């Protein structure tokens, strides 16, 4: 089975965001970056399917030159090769632009299965995988908690609301968006890190302009504020008023 895994590079979760002068994006020169956590689970699931069924795992990413860092990490964890669609405009591109860039580089590869994380840790729109499936003409399923592959068909477990799950059977080729926690992540070994240096990263340019369909007008860091409210009256009246505020306003009881 030939499997592609779409990986995004995002700012590290413990980094304190700093905005650019226009307040439309972060100051990337001040940021540190890492592999998007949901995509790491997608990569692990691809590697497990390869170990069970054989085949090839190809890590794919779109973004500036710095994205090669997470591709090397994916190769060190066990991916066979990588595809990097390189363009600075993809760093803050929306799902339409990123999916178009990935689809152009992937369409001639003949993948049987494409895995992505459910959403990205930076923007969290959860749309890139779905739009990518449409651009490639593949079937798709989202919020996947388990994957069973048998021949040319897939049986997957989807997470629904309220603790419910749904089993879906779909043909390949297909795109699946993987939920975090589906498996136990592996980490790169020294042997894997050394082997990654010899593995191929194919670099290509987007086949279409990288102008985003969506525009961020303004970003801001939420301000921490507090407000003190004095409840007056007798102890019984104050207790009654406090319970009402906790129930109706704060909604914690």
**Residue 23, φ and ψ in degrees, nearest 5:** 55, 40
Q: Which position has the higher pLDDT, 19 or 75?
A: 75
Range with the poorest average pLDDT among 4-13, 19-28, 73-82, 181-190: 19-28
Cα separation, 89 vs 94, whole angstroms? 10
Contact 91, 57 (CB under 8 A): no
Per-residue pLDDT reduced to its tens digit, 129-151: 999 999 999 999 999 999 998 76
Closest CA to 116 of 87, 93, 149, 138: 138
Residue-averaged pLDDT of the chain: 91
Q: Homologous superfamily of 2-204 in CATH?
A: HUPs (3.40.50.620)
The yes-or-no verdict on residue 228 having pLDDT over 70 is: yes
- Region 21-40: mean pLDDT is 89
Residue 2, helix vs strand vs coil:
strand
Cα separation, 208 vs 93, whole angstroms? 13
Closest CA to 43 of 35, 53, 32: 35
């Amino acid at each position: 089975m030939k499997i592609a895994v779409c990986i995004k590079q995002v700012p590290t979760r413990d980094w304190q965001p700093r905005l650019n002068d226009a307040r439309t994006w972060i100051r990337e020169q001040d940021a540190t970056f890492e592999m998007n956590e949901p995509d790491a689970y997608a990569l692990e699931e691809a590697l497990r399917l390869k170990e069970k069924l054989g085949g090839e795992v190809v890590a794919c990413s779109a973004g500036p030159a710095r994205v090669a860092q997470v591709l090397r990490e994916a190769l060190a964890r066990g991916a066979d090769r990588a595809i990097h669609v390189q363009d600075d405009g993809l760093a803050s591109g929306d799902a339409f632009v990123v999916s178009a860039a990935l689809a152009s580089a992937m369409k001639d590869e003949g993948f049987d299965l494409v895995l992505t994380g459910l959403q990205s840790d930076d923007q969290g729109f959860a749309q890139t995988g779905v739009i990518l499936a449409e651009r490639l003409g593949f079937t798709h399923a989202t919020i996947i908690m388990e994957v069973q592959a048998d021949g040319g068909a897939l049986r997957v477990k989807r997470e629904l609301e309220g603790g419910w799950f749904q089993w879906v059977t779909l043909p390949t080729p297909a795109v699946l968006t993987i939920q975090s926690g589906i498996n136990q992540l592996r980490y790169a070994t020294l042997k894997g890190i050394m082997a990654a240096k010899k593995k191929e990263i194919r670099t290509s340019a987007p086949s279409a302009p990288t102008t985003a369909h969506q525009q961020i007008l303004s970003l801001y860091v939420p301000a921490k504020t507090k407000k003190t409210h004095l409840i007056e009256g007798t102890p019984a009246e104050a207790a009654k008023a406090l319970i009402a505020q906790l129930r109706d306003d704060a909604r914690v009881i």
